Chains A and B, each alone.
Chain A
């Protein structure tokens, strides 16, 4: 597996982590009604979007490099 392929795995894992953090913070917000957790949840959701956009950019940029 090349660095390109491993990077895609890494970005996918980061997206899953940030999606989890979004849900975790939102549940904490529902439990505590603290605006901190709501803000946290929104930031994590934004990073999910950011990472997906970056992943697409990365795939386009390194189109010609092998996955092996």
Chain B
């Protein structure tokens, strides 16, 4: 027996099964991301006033790279345009053009993930160093000529590790000073002052990982979950572009509907980023 309405619309709803299914799925996704956005906002508004890292739990400003974030936004907007053009190409019976647009979409997805991993790598090698005199420094560190990534989940462990390795001094490429809004005070100068710090003066040392501050915890959680959605979407769209494209010959109507459903998911993923970017990077 054939399953009804797999590609033809139901007369009562005017929709085929997969479209109802994807919208129900997207409704559940909205609740998931909505909860995470709420968590971010509640943590942010309840954070103590002050300048991080001087005030330990104050909300950090200006730590994320806005030009990179903006570029990634442009990449995702481009991918949404190409996915809808791929769908439109199929509607116009132009399979060759569909494939070109789909490949561009998948390339954009992997470009986004590549740039995001570059950003993650930078955060994992960026440190906040709390000193015995109560002051705090942030920046990349150099230990014996290397830029370590500790992947630590305990600040004390890092200092202990340095002591274990008989390291007495580390070099810190200190970040430029920022104002309360996170803007660099002396603009135009991108030089980082390099300072030597004695390990005995360090109280704690932690890279920008989830354990260091609630900001990083929620930032990594939301962006990693979003990244997983990008990866999943890219794999599905890549499947439609190549092995799954056989259906174009056997059942073109259902194939067009599959592309539409894939495109709806892709638009949702991109729309999440459209909200995520200003909330996390700009505000």
Interface residues of A (CB under 8 A from B): 1-4, 6-7, 9-10, 13-14, 17, 20-21, 24, 28, 31-34, 36, 40, 47, 51, 54, 58, 61-62, 65, 68
B188 sits at the interface (CB 8 A): yes
Which residues on the B side are within 8 Å of A68 (C-beta)? 14-15
Which residues on the A side are within 8 Å of B274 (C-beta)? 10, 13-14, 17
Q: Quick check: B183 and A3 within 8 Å, CB to CB?
A: no
Q: Nearest Cβ in chain B — how far from A28, in angstroms?
A: 6
Q: Quick check: B271 and A13 within 8 Å, CB to CB?
A: yes
Q: Nearest Cβ in chain A — how far from B6, in angstroms?
A: 17
Q: Please tell me which one of the listed residues B73, B188, B260, B271 contacts residue A2 in the complex, with CB atoms under 8 A apart.
A: B260
Q: A54-B81, A68-B14 are in contact. Are A3 and B187 (CB under 8 A)?
A: no
**Sample of 18 further A-B pairs with CB below 8 A, known A7-B263, A62-B88:** A4-B84, A6-B264, A9-B271, A10-B274, A14-B274, A17-B274, A17-B277, A21-B70, A24-B278, A31-B179, A31-B181, A31-B183, A32-B184, A34-B183, A34-B188, A51-B77, A54-B81, A65-B88
Q: Quick check: A1 and B23 within 8 Å, CB to CB?
A: yes
Q: Mark B62-98, 1 if CB is under 8 A from A, else 0.
A: 0000110010011001001100100110010000000
Q: How many A-B residue pairs have CB under 8 A?
A: 66
Q: Quick check: B77 and A14 within 8 Å, CB to CB?
A: yes
Which residues on the A side are within 8 Å of B268 (C-beta)? 6
CA distance A54 to B70 in the complex (A): 19
Which residues on the B side are within 8 Å of A51 (C-beta)? 77
Q: Quick check: B267 and A6 within 8 Å, CB to CB?
A: yes
Interface SS majority for chain B: helix
Q: Please tell me which one of the listed residues A10, A61, A62 contacts residue B271 in the complex, with CB atoms under 8 A apart.
A: A10
Q: Nearest Cβ in chain A — how far from B66, in angstroms?
A: 8
Which residues on the A side are within 8 Å of B181 (C-beta)? 28, 31
B35 sits at the interface (CB 8 A): no
In the complex, residue of chain B having the shortest beta-carbon distance to the beta carbon of A16:
B274
Chain B residues 185-224 with CB under 8 Å of chain A are: 187-188
Chain B residues 94-151 with CB under 8 Å of chain A are: none
**Selected A-B contacts with CB under 8 Å, 19 pairs:** A3-B87, A3-B263, A3-B267, A6-B267, A7-B80, A7-B267, A10-B274, A13-B274, A20-B282, A21-B70, A24-B282, A28-B183, A31-B183, A32-B183, A32-B187, A34-B187, A40-B66, A47-B74, A54-B81
Which residues on the B side are within 8 Å of A24 (C-beta)? 278, 282
CA distance A20 to B80 in the complex (A): 20
Q: Quick check: B14 and A61 within 8 Å, CB to CB?
A: no
Q: Quick check: A20 and B278 within 8 Å, CB to CB?
A: yes
Chain B residues 239-283 with CB under 8 Å of chain A are: 260, 263-264, 267-268, 270-271, 274-275, 277-278, 282
